[in-house]
Amino acid sequence: MKKLSVFLILMACTFLLSPAKCVATESELMLSSKSGLLMDYASGEVLFEKDSLEHLPVASMVKMMTILLALEEYDLGNVTLDTKISTTENASGMGGSQVFIDPYVEYSFGDLLKSVIMASANDASVALAEYFNGNEKSFVGRMNRRAKELGMDNTNYVNCTGLPAPEQYSCARDSAILMREILKHDLYHNYSSIWMDSLTHPSGRQTELVNTNKLIRYFEGCDGGKTGSTNEAGCCLTASAKRGDMRLISCIIGAENSKTRFNESSLLLNFGFANFENQFLVSTDSPIATLSIKKGKKDEVEVYANENFSAVVKKGGDEKYETILKIPTSKKAPLKANEKVGSVVVTKDGNIVKEIDIVAKEEVKRNSYFDHIGEIANNW
């Protein structure tokens, strides 16, 4: 009976939280840029937006998708930091921002990726695209497919660099979604917060690298981002900063100058940290319940949520979130490791926000005939 009472308590656990839907209004944050957005990284909640779905050129912020695909190739083990990539005349001849790579020589994957993340190098971007897909056109097709998978429905890529091109566009919301995905990769953080570095070419000459995102040096907690700037797009920046347990993502598109994009990005981030906080509702660190096992070699097993979940909340608010545990009081063996045994549902205002699987982390085998006979003997 004691275990059952624990289940009943867990099945209706209410948290007093503030309204995540209480986002900032445009009058609270006066932006001169064409579009802007502030997103909570953990939950994906949008805390502020101005024309965030408008199709706009985003200049070199296009390279965020080039960076993401390169990071995913690395995590899959298809490339290492030391993998040698042969360059072409096409890649080395790219205009705009570049690190002046030489044609027909080999650079390491790590150096090319660093050059794109830090210095927004067009030549290094094309070199990566040609390596992974043979040519830039094929790589761009892959960029668009990945964008659709991420729900970036207001984005269309024409090249991998962000150089002006007809029919190439994105929006503030899609840019934040993309940065949120990039931030999941540890390798990205190895380069994104470096202020100054250098690239040593195979010939021995060196090119100085300076991070185009000034906020990593001047804004507390900023450790990543991607700038963009063309006459067509204006000045753009998608940036991320973390303070304490909270990480935010800001996006500015179409600022009139570089100073404005950094100032308005800082304005968004400061507003977020001052007015919102993250509160964890579901954690994978501790068992969420104890499940009784029938006819198993163990009588019970602890079960866990399969993923963490937190809500972004307004400081000083009092809105209620509820978590509802959907799990039987017992289950027959056998039980596989990581087998789903139920779910925990997070609701807000009666609407389901998230449903997370509950799993048993350990295997429980079924009692054999002899185990059953032994149990009868012991009871007798």
Radius of gyration of the chain (CA): 25
Whole-number Cα distances in Å, 19 to 115, 279, 281, 351: 41, 12, 14, 14
Kindly state the tokens that stand for 85. 């990539």
pLDDT for the residue 61: 98
- Are the C-beta atoms of 277 and 313 separated by less than 8 Å? yes
pLDDT for the residue 253: 98
pLDDT for the residue 97: 95
pLDDT for the residue 19: 35
Which of 43, 60, 97, 266 is labelled catalytic?
60
How many CB atoms are closer than 10 A to CB 24? 18
- Using CA atoms of 238, 243, 246, 252 in order, give the dihedral in degrees to the nearest 10: -20
Predicted confidence band of residue 333 (pLDDT cuts 50, 70, 90) = confident
Whole-number Cα distances in Å, 348 to 20, 43, 305, 308, 354: 10, 14, 19, 17, 10
Domains of the chain: 2-18+283-379 (2.60.410.10), 35-278 (3.40.710.10)
> Does pLDDT of 82 surpass 60?
yes
Predicted confidence band of residue 377 (pLDDT cuts 50, 70, 90) = low
Is the model more confident about 138 or about 3?
A: 138
Query: Residue 60 catalytic?
Result: yes
High-pLDDT (> 70) share of the chain, % = 89
pLDDT for the residue 31: 95
pLDDT for the residue 18: 35
How many CB atoms are closer than 10 A to CB 336? 12
- Are the C-beta atoms of 59 and 236 separated by less than 8 Å? yes
How many CA atoms are closer than 13 Å to the CA of 290, on its beta-carbon side? 10
pLDDT for the residue 185: 98
Entry pTM: 0.84
Q: In whole numbers, what is the pLDDT of the chain averaged over residues?
A: 89
Is the model more confident about 37 or about 292?
A: 37
Which of 33, 43, 120, 125 is labelled catalytic?
120
- CA torsion sign, 83 to 84 to 86 to 90? positive
- Are the C-beta atoms of 124 and 85 separated by less than 8 Å? no
> Does pLDDT of 247 surpass 90?
yes
Whole-number Cα distances in Å, 346 to 3, 9, 38, 288, 350: 22, 15, 23, 14, 9
In degrees rounded to 5, what are phi and psi of residue 313? -130, 150
pLDDT for the residue 163: 96
- Are the C-beta atoms of 215 and 238 separated by less than 8 Å? no
Give helix 63-75 / helix 172-182 axis angle, nearest 10°: 20
The mean pLDDT value for 185-192 works out to: 98
pLDDT per residue as tens digits for the range 43-78: 899 999 999 999 999 999 999 999 999 999 999 999
Tell me the sheet residues that pair with 234: 230
Query: Residue 120 catalytic?
Result: yes
- Residue 338's Cα: distance from chain center in Å? 24
Kindly state the tokens that stand for 125. 């971007």
- Are the C-beta atoms of 42 and 310 separated by less than 8 Å? yes
pLDDT per residue as tens digits for the range 90-129: 999 998 999 999 999 999 999 999 999 999 999 999 999 9
The mean pLDDT value for 11-23 works out to: 40
Which of 35, 43, 52, 63 is labelled catalytic?
63
Query: Residue 148 catalytic?
Result: no
